[in-house]
């Protein structure tokens, strides 16, 4: 069994509890995706509760898109709480670079050493301060333009950095992995990228060591890419794609995931 299959099997076998501090646009699709892949979602934003729950959950997602002042306060408490409890947490720096409040928040949270950063190319560049970010949540930079910056973020924070695009690129210390799958309809469905961040957290929850985290992040991207390919076979437009994609996330076996996507090491 490969590392991708081991990770996906582990998620189904253990049902990791993922604490999602995410933006107001995507809680429903994020929760549905986590249930489909075999994890358990929890949405807890109240600062006093978020700090406690971050140490209880299997993993934490912090998605800085369209949050409130109260949620941001909770994020500032939850990230160090997860780190102190030895729980992996994922930073999704949505639209960072062009918007000052979320940009500062995301940069401040880096000190708590996320296990992974999941973003598009413009968000990776914006997080590092080498770009003003993209067009809202959409990237205006090519994936390869952010690879060197991802390497530096990895060196500075210890995080595995995943850059989403037509081919996703996962970067960690000494490794670069490219995952090709998905479909052009996927960006037309709200919340697919944000739900990917939550699935990365679920996969990290079953990684047995920090050395396994790169493969866990690759596994999450492979599952999403494979489900996109399967959904596209029967989809005629975004609404049908969304339903078929969610079903594929639930029904695909780890072996089928590996057969459908292309995974290459640089």
How does pLDDT run across 102-131, given as a tens digit for each residue?
Answer: 999 999 999 999 999 999 999 999 999 876
Where do runs of H (alpha helix) occur along 92-146? 100-109, 121-128
Known binding-site residues equal 43, 118, 164, 191
In the chain, the number of structural domains is: 1
pLDDT band at 138 (very low <50, low <70, confident <90, very high): low
153 neighbors 117 (Cβ within 8 angstroms) = yes
Question: What are residue 68's phi and psi, to 5 degrees?
Answer: -105, 170
Question: Which range has the worst mean pLDDT, 67-71, 104-108, 140-144, 251-255?
Answer: 140-144
As a whole number of Å, the end-to-end CA separation of the chain is 22
Known binding-site residues for ATP equal 118, 164
Q: Any idea what the CATH number is for the domain that residue 27 is in?
A: 3.40.1190.20
- Angle, vertex CA 114, rays to CA 138 and CA 171, nearest 5: 65
| Residue 16, domain extent | 3-265
Burial label, 69 (beta-carbon count in 10 A; 0-12, 13-18, 19+): exposed
- Say how far residue 160 (Cα) sits from the centre of its chain: 11
**How high is the pLDDT of residue 266?**
87
The Cα 199–Cα 75 span in angstroms is 19
Q: In what order do the strands lie in the sheet with 116-120?
A: 40-42, 17-21, 59-63, 89-92, 116-120, 160-164, 167-172, 175-180, 262-265
What confidence tens digit (pLDDT) does each residue in 188-240 have? 999 999 999 999 999 999 999 988 999 999 999 999 999 999 999 999 999 99
Q: Which residues pair with 263 in a beta bridge?
A: 179
Known binding-site residues for substrate equal 43, 191
Helix axes 69-84, 47-56, angle to 10 degrees: 30
């Amino acid at each position: 069994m490969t590392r991708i299959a081991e990770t996906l099997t582990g998620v189904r076998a253990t049902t990791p509890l993922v604490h999602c501090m995410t933006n107001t646009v995507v809680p429903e699709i994020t929760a549905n995706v986590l249930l489909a892949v075999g994890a358990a979602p929890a949405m807890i934003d109240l600062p006093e509760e978020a700090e406690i729950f971050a140490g209880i959950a299997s993993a934490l997602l912090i998605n800085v898109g369209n949050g409130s002042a109260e949620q941001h306060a909770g994020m500032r408490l939850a990230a160090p709480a997860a780190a102190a409890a030895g729980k992996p947490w994922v930073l999704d720096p949505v639209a960072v670079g062009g918007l000052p409040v979320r940009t500062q928040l995301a940069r401040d949270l880096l000190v708590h050493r996320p296990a992974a950063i999941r973003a598009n190319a413009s968000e990776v560049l914006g997080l590092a301060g080498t770009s003003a970010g993209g067009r809202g949540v959409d990237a205006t930079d090519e994936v390869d333009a952010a690879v060197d910056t991802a390497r530096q973020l990895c060196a500075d924070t210890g995080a595995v950095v995943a850059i989403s695009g037509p081919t996703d690129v996962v970067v960690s210390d000494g490794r670069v992995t490219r995952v090709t799958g998905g479909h052009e309809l996927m960006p037309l469905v709200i919340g697919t990228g944000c739900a990917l961040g939550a699935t990365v957290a679920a996969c990290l929850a079953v990684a047995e060591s920090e050395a396994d985290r790169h493969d866990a992040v690759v596994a999450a991207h492979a599952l999403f890419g494979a489900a996109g390919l399967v959904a596209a076979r029967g989809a005629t437009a975004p609404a049908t794609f969304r339903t078929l994609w969610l079903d594929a996330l639930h029904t695909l076996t780890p072996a089928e995931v590996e057969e459908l996507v292309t995974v290459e090491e640089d």
